[in-house]
Chains A and B, each alone.
Chain A
């Protein structure tokens, strides 16, 4: 059963009837046997906006997933816009050395990073068939590449370490290889022969790790691009991360998953995978904004760490206890920053932080606030900075919403990326009298659709030399001469004074 989360209902309305195009992506070489009924159900979920992509996996059961083993993925084509096309090619097995199954997992993870949701329905997924050492090398290299690209800085190292140890030691154990034969401590020797006979399966993963090193540079470049444009913080995804890691590493059996879980535990990764989201709320010491901030903190009390910053005194509270941290260190700590009737001046560095930012002006009349400020243009500047950076703007009423929409438009925030994702623009600016939308956003923060887009580069007018080459290629010297002559005439006309009567 598909479960709609709070805050999503409104989006469904806005998405209806917008002409969703669904793309079906199939893993190269998979046995695809998705029934018509299942397919229709998946399409319905995507069309309604309840999910951005649907996969089919044993035991799927309508759960949100970060990445699950599947042969087929149905996905809203709009969600693929920020995805590197190379990933799709890898799934289709169209590139040398590709591992389509790992690429399919990679794609789902990337969709999640971009704020799209992948739903798993119960279905068949073709088991991997590994026949040669080369197959295993390719798989391991693809897994290591995915783990280089996908997790954020805090998790990349620990997850990669766990993956390496799992893959290497698992293969050695499966083959029952005695790895103490080289150890003077455990195997005092007497055997001076310099070689060993081992099952190829025992060392294939190790050799795959070696192969992965060839892709380090490419994966690092890919990582830079993916991490720059991601819209969702890792802490919003960690509840889904361990099952995804299991799929990625091929830990499908209960025994394998137990071993993986033990490694996660013993390597000390468990705390990072269960760390709740960090929400930083900035509000004045008293008044309606303060009340709203405290209500939010109460609503988010379970499962999230909320710090409340007093914009008048700079004091920081967490669970009612004073926190001794310099103010400017807080933005880096936060996954979500909520400014309730506060500005970026109250939290230095927040405008540059990676966190999603909510500008909550729902306790203010914006015009009055602007006019009652200092006689300088300080508040206008502050508003400009806020609407330029905000991932969600909350307004007091419909009129205020229109006003803020104007401010957003003035900063080019009403743009194709935002509009295409949500033509109602509700996901960018809305009213929220009871604070439910705000709480929902904090539980699942997603940066705005236009955040971290590559800069717009206007097309350049071709230079004279480029035009000359173009004309030469198109028609030879005669065409070039003709064009030059034409241009001279135009220039001459332009500069000749017109005769008037």
Chain B
């Protein structure tokens, strides 16, 4: 039996000439356009001996084939002997083509100078790209015709950007679901393998179907903005009436769906698409079904043809069900990508596309009833929450939340939220919000997945019983940090702080579906704590016993871009630090677990031999008002003062350097330094400032005992010294500052070593989780949410009572009072 879909694309064998591009034009009563198009190839930058021009004439008559052959002797004109439509004509052309690549160009279009070269270069540069969608502009090159292919859930392709000015917004290449058949390239072998254009489509959407099919089969289609063509739109169809075009669009959309959707998606959307097709076309044709209800079934009725195009299209589908079924089975068996993987290429699947009132109502009802927004959502919505303020001045947690948002927003709709404040900060790909109180309810409602650090579970208690997917970023073992940080609070205060923070962490660990930590050592700590909470069980431990399904290792990262110094931040700016001085930088805050005292003492000794040594503390005041000023910062200043170093060899920035300006400071330094006391916090901490040193290529001198300190010597990126060892520190600083060979070697090694910490690499575990986010198996199967989540709208008395109870448990009356104060001030600020 002849395959109706590929009747004019024979199995071969075909002659293939390496590097040759065969351009195929289909002519149907358009010889004048075709000749203009062919002549335009004289101006195309592509060797003539690598170009094959083929015109398939679809039995236009009137001697059109001869006219074209005469006007353009370099083109081969093939007479099809009948009207095969665009699909059949192209297939016949490819059957005669000898090029390694085939290109389709509408006969009412013309190629730009680099139309071929840009497309071929792209396919040759990346073998996974098997087809190229050209940029298509109107005839004058001013307005967009095609720069991206969008697909509505009911199978209709559309061009969102059509008729917008070509204002430079479409100059970045990207993967697309389909290109327009008006100007499209594909490797000839692939075209033949996948069966070319489906001739059952005749014309319209055969290009959508081909692109969709290629993507299903794992062959990428790439939009290449440098490959440009110019197009007069729909010259051919205007001659035949709108109803014929509508009929073809309606039925071909259904054919595409039947072929390409998975069983599950097809079962959901096809019945809805069939009904919508009827409504869309009856309304387009001005036929109101309600007005005919009294008419006898035996009567004859005159109806607009346009109104029948949906019904007749469905009947065509019925007549082809058997052959479509065969094609579908074959295609679905070979597919290598899921529907969900392709939905992002649909761009906006929930686009009704036709502004017809009755149709729009039905469309909206179906979208709601079938929950299509969720089904076709290109990706789950992710809310990243930080307890740090978001502004130009970012500290560790906020930097991490920021970089997580930047990475996730390349693939997901993302919002970044701070529970403490937002000021003067924006990103083109995601929204940023300050979310206190009720605003936090709204933000968490929006999200499918919530990635958070710190204390979110305490303020957003409704999340505990919700079905949201929760990712707890526990890169900071806060309870260990409290061992040092809370020393200033007195015995009772310290006990309370440690207890409270441990309870906070336990609550997170008990509820989280996935956790992020900063190192494998940290992961062991968390797994122990999870075990005590009953979370280490057969459902959370993967087959490899790695716990990677529960806890991902995501260290702090470095920006993917190299640092740029726009102006000097230290040299020649800070009085007392000259352009040729040796600058040691302390690249962050001064907290109790650090040991800047030993460092100041070492600098004091070095200063006696090296008058040009300068130590610069980059920030004493953390931008988060919740981080208290600490005793050690004051002691450090006192010590430096008593040694007479302040303003001569030791310098303090009493504020904080903006995140975006930190490279201006770091690139002014010769080495980066970090010294701390020896205790358990140190053992599990991950120093973000060390990453800044790596990013800016600084050799590092740091205390051993944490995740970085121990590898400095091993990797040759600096020197590790024992805690509180002034001699060792003095020696290490001197070597890195005054031994040019050692410093150069360390700098070289830093550049090599730093590459693994690019954010794009370290965030891979989170990106993998986000690609298929899910509730933790033990939550889903052992601890199901039995009660529906409390309505997160206006808090009820019961809700308040619950908060009070939790606060009492967490921190006693003081905690309740603290929360009450916060509540009242929030209400006051919001004017409630």
- Tell whether, in the assembled complex, residue A157 and residue B300 are in contact, meaning their CB atoms are under 8 Å apart: no
At the interface, yes or no: B368 with Cβ under 8 Å from chain A? yes
9-residue interface stretch from A79-87, A263-271, A445-453 = A263-271
9-residue interface stretch from B130-138, B242-250, B814-822 = B242-250
The distance in angstroms between the C-alpha atoms of A346 and B614, with both chains bound, is 66
- Tell whether, in the assembled complex, residue B302 and residue A207 are in contact, meaning their CB atoms are under 8 Å apart: no
- Tell whether, in the assembled complex, residue A206 and residue B202 are in contact, meaning their CB atoms are under 8 Å apart: no
The distance from the CB of B275 to the nearest CB of chain A, in whole angstroms, is 5
At the interface, yes or no: A134 with Cβ under 8 Å from chain B? yes
Nearest 7 pairs of A and B residues by beta carbon: A157-B267, A134-B293, A207-B289, A160-B271, A349-B781, A348-B781, A220-B369
At the interface, yes or no: B270 with Cβ under 8 Å from chain A? yes
- Tell whether, in the assembled complex, residue A134 and residue B294 are in contact, meaning their CB atoms are under 8 Å apart: yes
14 interchain pairs (CB within 8 A)?
A134-B292, A156-B267, A157-B270, A165-B314, A168-B278, A169-B315, A182-B309, A198-B303, A199-B297, A199-B298, A203-B308, A213-B276, A216-B369, A348-B777
- Tell whether, in the assembled complex, residue A185 and residue B202 are in contact, meaning their CB atoms are under 8 Å apart: yes
Contacts of A144 in B (CB 8 A): 275
Q: CB-CB contacts of A154-177 with B at 8 A, as 1s and 0s?
A: 101110110111001100100000
Interface residues of B in 486-509 (CB under 8 A from A): none
Interface residues of B in 413-464 (CB under 8 A from A): none
A194 with B306, Cβ < 8 A, contacts A169-B314, A184-B244 known:
yes
The distance in angstroms between the C-alpha atoms of A214 and B304, with both chains bound, is 23
- Tell whether, in the assembled complex, residue A184 and residue B297 are in contact, meaning their CB atoms are under 8 Å apart: no
At the interface, yes or no: B728 with Cβ under 8 Å from chain A? no
Selected from B85, B282, B308, the residue in CB contact (under 8 A) with A210 is B282
The distance in angstroms between the C-alpha atoms of A158 and B780, with both chains bound, is 29
At the interface, yes or no: B603 with Cβ under 8 Å from chain A? no
- Tell whether, in the assembled complex, residue B318 and residue A204 are in contact, meaning their CB atoms are under 8 Å apart: no
- Tell whether, in the assembled complex, residue B297 and residue A213 are in contact, meaning their CB atoms are under 8 Å apart: no
The distance from the CB of B264 to the nearest CB of chain A, in whole angstroms, is 8
Contacts of B85 in A (CB 8 A): 184-185
At the interface, yes or no: B801 with Cβ under 8 Å from chain A? no
The distance in angstroms between the C-alpha atoms of A206 and B250, with both chains bound, is 15
At the interface, yes or no: B35 with Cβ under 8 Å from chain A? no
Contacts of A137 in B (CB 8 A): 289, 293
Q: CB-CB contacts of A179-203 with B at 8 A, as 1s and 0s?
A: 1111111001100111111111101
At the interface, yes or no: B365 with Cβ under 8 Å from chain A? yes
- Tell whether, in the assembled complex, residue B784 and residue A179 are in contact, meaning their CB atoms are under 8 Å apart: no
Instruction: Report B's interface with A, CB cutoff 8 A.
Output: 83, 85, 202-203, 240-241, 243-244, 247-248, 263, 266-271, 274-276, 278-279, 282, 289-290, 292-306, 308-312, 314-318, 321-322, 325, 362, 365-366, 368-369, 538-539, 777-778, 780-782, 784
The distance from the CB of A215 to the nearest CB of chain B, in whole angstroms, is 9
- Tell whether, in the assembled complex, residue B83 and residue A188 are in contact, meaning their CB atoms are under 8 Å apart: yes
Contacts of B316 in A (CB 8 A): 179-180, 183
Contacts of A199 in B (CB 8 A): 297-301
Contacts of A169 in B (CB 8 A): 314-315, 318
Selected from B248, B293, B538, the residue in CB contact (under 8 A) with A132 is B293
- Tell whether, in the assembled complex, residue A157 and residue B365 are in contact, meaning their CB atoms are under 8 Å apart: no
- Tell whether, in the assembled complex, residue A182 and residue B247 are in contact, meaning their CB atoms are under 8 Å apart: yes
Most chain A CB within 10 A, of B275, B304, B308, B311, is at B311
The residue on A at minimum CB distance from B82 is: A188
- Tell whether, in the assembled complex, residue B781 and residue A209 are in contact, meaning their CB atoms are under 8 Å apart: no
Selected from B248, B275, B308, B322, the residue in CB contact (under 8 A) with A266 is B322
The residue on B at minimum CB distance from A211 is: B289
- Tell whether, in the assembled complex, residue B292 and residue A192 are in contact, meaning their CB atoms are under 8 Å apart: no
At the interface, yes or no: A273 with Cβ under 8 Å from chain B? no
The distance from the CB of A451 to the nearest CB of chain B, in whole angstroms, is 16
Most chain A CB within 10 A, of B241, B312, B539, is at B312
- Tell whether, in the assembled complex, residue B282 and residue A207 are in contact, meaning their CB atoms are under 8 Å apart: yes
At the interface, yes or no: A499 with Cβ under 8 Å from chain B? no
The distance in angstroms between the C-alpha atoms of A348 and B311, with both chains bound, is 49
- Tell whether, in the assembled complex, residue B301 and residue A200 are in contact, meaning their CB atoms are under 8 Å apart: yes
- Please name 9 further chain A to chain B contacts, defined as beta carbons within 8 Å, in addition to the given A164-B274, A195-B303, sorted by A numbering: A165-B314, A180-B312, A183-B244, A185-B202, A197-B301, A206-B278, A213-B362, A219-B369, A266-B321
- Tell whether, in the assembled complex, residue A165 and residue B318 are in contact, meaning their CB atoms are under 8 Å apart: yes
Contacts of A172 in B (CB 8 A): 311-312, 315
| Contact residues of B: prevailing secondary structure | helix
- Tell whether, in the assembled complex, residue B271 and residue A164 are in contact, meaning their CB atoms are under 8 Å apart: yes
The residue on A at minimum CB distance from B293 is: A134
Selected from A160, A194, A216, A348, the residue in CB contact (under 8 A) with B243 is A194
At the interface, yes or no: A135 with Cβ under 8 Å from chain B? yes
Selected from A134, A168, A216, A349, the residue in CB contact (under 8 A) with B366 is A216
- Tell whether, in the assembled complex, residue B289 and residue A195 are in contact, meaning their CB atoms are under 8 Å apart: no
| Contact residues of A: prevailing secondary structure | helix
The distance in angstroms between the C-alpha atoms of A179 and B308, with both chains bound, is 9
The distance in angstroms between the C-alpha atoms of A165 and B311, with both chains bound, is 10
The distance in angstroms between the C-alpha atoms of A185 and B781, with both chains bound, is 55
Contacts of B369 in A (CB 8 A): 216-217, 219-220
The distance in angstroms between the C-alpha atoms of A136 and B301, with both chains bound, is 15
- Tell whether, in the assembled complex, residue A195 and residue B302 are in contact, meaning their CB atoms are under 8 Å apart: yes
- Tell whether, in the assembled complex, residue A197 and residue B300 are in contact, meaning their CB atoms are under 8 Å apart: yes
The distance from the CB of A222 to the nearest CB of chain B, in whole angstroms, is 11
- Tell whether, in the assembled complex, residue A192 and residue B241 are in contact, meaning their CB atoms are under 8 Å apart: yes
At the interface, yes or no: A405 with Cβ under 8 Å from chain B? no
Contacts of A185 in B (CB 8 A): 83, 85, 202
The distance in angstroms between the C-alpha atoms of A200 and B292, with both chains bound, is 9
The distance in angstroms between the C-alpha atoms of A257 and B276, with both chains bound, is 27
The distance in angstroms between the C-alpha atoms of A182 and B250, with both chains bound, is 12
Contacts of B311 in A (CB 8 A): 168, 172, 179, 203, 206
Contacts of B777 in A (CB 8 A): 328, 348
The distance in angstroms between the C-alpha atoms of A161 and B270, with both chains bound, is 7
Contacts of B365 in A (CB 8 A): 213, 216-217
A210 with B275, Cβ < 8 A, contacts A157-B268, A169-B315, A349-B780 known:
yes
The distance from the CB of A409 to the nearest CB of chain B, in whole angstroms, is 21
Contacts of A198 in B (CB 8 A): 300-303, 308
At the interface, yes or no: A130 with Cβ under 8 Å from chain B? yes
- Tell whether, in the assembled complex, residue B300 and residue A213 are in contact, meaning their CB atoms are under 8 Å apart: no
Contacts of B293 in A (CB 8 A): 132-134, 137
The distance in angstroms between the C-alpha atoms of A217 and B315, with both chains bound, is 27
Selected from B266, B269, B301, the residue in CB contact (under 8 A) with A203 is B301
Contacts of A351 in B (CB 8 A): 784
Contacts of B267 in A (CB 8 A): 154, 156-158, 161
At the interface, yes or no: A498 with Cβ under 8 Å from chain B? no
Selected from B279, B308, B322, the residue in CB contact (under 8 A) with A213 is B279
The residue on B at minimum CB distance from A353 is: B781
- Tell whether, in the assembled complex, residue B298 and residue A201 are in contact, meaning their CB atoms are under 8 Å apart: yes
At the interface, yes or no: A352 with Cβ under 8 Å from chain B? yes
A200 with B270, Cβ < 8 A, contacts A210-B275, A352-B784 known:
no
Selected from A156, A158, A195, A217, the residue in CB contact (under 8 A) with B305 is A195
At the interface, yes or no: A367 with Cβ under 8 Å from chain B? no
At the interface, yes or no: A212 with Cβ under 8 Å from chain B? yes
Contacts of B268 in A (CB 8 A): 157
- Tell whether, in the assembled complex, residue B274 and residue A133 are in contact, meaning their CB atoms are under 8 Å apart: no
The distance in angstroms between the C-alpha atoms of A203 and B780, with both chains bound, is 49
The distance in angstroms between the C-alpha atoms of A349 and B83, with both chains bound, is 59
Most chain B CB within 10 A, of A180, A185, A210, A219, is at A210
Selected from A184, A210, A348, the residue in CB contact (under 8 A) with B782 is A348
The residue on B at minimum CB distance from A268 is: B325
- Tell whether, in the assembled complex, residue B202 and residue A184 are in contact, meaning their CB atoms are under 8 Å apart: yes
- Tell whether, in the assembled complex, residue B278 and residue A189 are in contact, meaning their CB atoms are under 8 Å apart: no
Contacts of A134 in B (CB 8 A): 292-295
At the interface, yes or no: A485 with Cβ under 8 Å from chain B? no
The residue on A at minimum CB distance from B287 is: A207
- Tell whether, in the assembled complex, residue B300 and residue A207 are in contact, meaning their CB atoms are under 8 Å apart: no
At the interface, yes or no: A466 with Cβ under 8 Å from chain B? no
The distance from the CB of A98 to the nearest CB of chain B, in whole angstroms, is 14
The distance in angstroms between the C-alpha atoms of A156 and B26, with both chains bound, is 43
- Tell whether, in the assembled complex, residue A168 and residue B271 are in contact, meaning their CB atoms are under 8 Å apart: no
The residue on B at minimum CB distance from A163 is: B271
Q: CB-CB contacts of A17-56 with B at 8 A, as 1s and 0s?
A: 0000000000000000000000000000000000000000
